[in-house]
Homo-oligomer: A and B are copies of this chain.
């Protein structure tokens, strides 16, 4: 009997945004898999029906959050992809930017890393994301290879796409562990140094 229109407190356009914001907020303290739809809608002040009107399930909400979070990721990687100069420096900066990105969106990214295996939609989304980063890395590596004979020599006989993918996934894992607070990666400096060492030694040294 009480379909009182909610006070327009929340700025957002409507329930959809409110649900997204709520999940992002909840993920700060709880793990994605321990969160039930009931909890989300209670926290969001939204009815069950409305929730399912906007989203197919909690995975769909997470997927949207991930899409938004990772958008910024590509921009972070751009400098290294495009730069003409000093691979090492731009590389290190890119890695540090990645760390920053993960720090800002730790909850959401952690959630998808832990969940992509269990949901086809999330799986496709995350694999595509990683593929994009790998693509960017390949582009840059090939450019360096053509420009610098030393690099050319070092990478002789190496499967560059596979190497690029490996480095991308190594990043994923280490950033994730950092987000989980697993030592020694919880120390950002150590994380960035080590990851940089891996990339540099694999590609340029």
Q: Which residues of A contact B (CB under 8 A)?
A: 31, 33-34, 114, 117-118, 127, 158-159, 161-163, 165-167, 169-170, 172-174, 177, 180, 182, 184-185, 190, 193-195, 197-198, 201-202, 205
Which of B117, B190, B201 has a CB less than 8 Å from the CB of A202?
A: B201
A53 to chain B, nearest CB (A): 27
A25 to chain B, nearest CB (A): 20
Q: A201 near B205 (CB under 8 angstroms)?
A: yes
Which secondary structure dominates where chain A touches chain B?
helix
Given A163-B197, A173-B173; A118-B33 close (CB under 8 Å): yes
Q: List 5 A-B contacts (CB under 8 A).
A: A31-B118, A114-B117, A127-B182, A161-B184, A162-B185
> For residue A166, which residues in chain B have a CB less than 8 angstroms away from its CB?
170, 174, 194-195, 198
> For residue A184, which residues in chain B have a CB less than 8 angstroms away from its CB?
159, 161-162, 165
Which of B165, B170, B190, B193 has a CB less than 8 Å from the CB of A185?
A: B165
A106 to chain B, nearest CB (A): 14
Given A165-B185, A169-B177, A170-B170; A198-B198 close (CB under 8 Å): yes
What are the 4 A-B residue pairs with the smallest beta carbon separation, nearest first? A114-B117, A170-B170, A162-B184, A201-B201
Docked CA distance A90–B165 (Å): 25
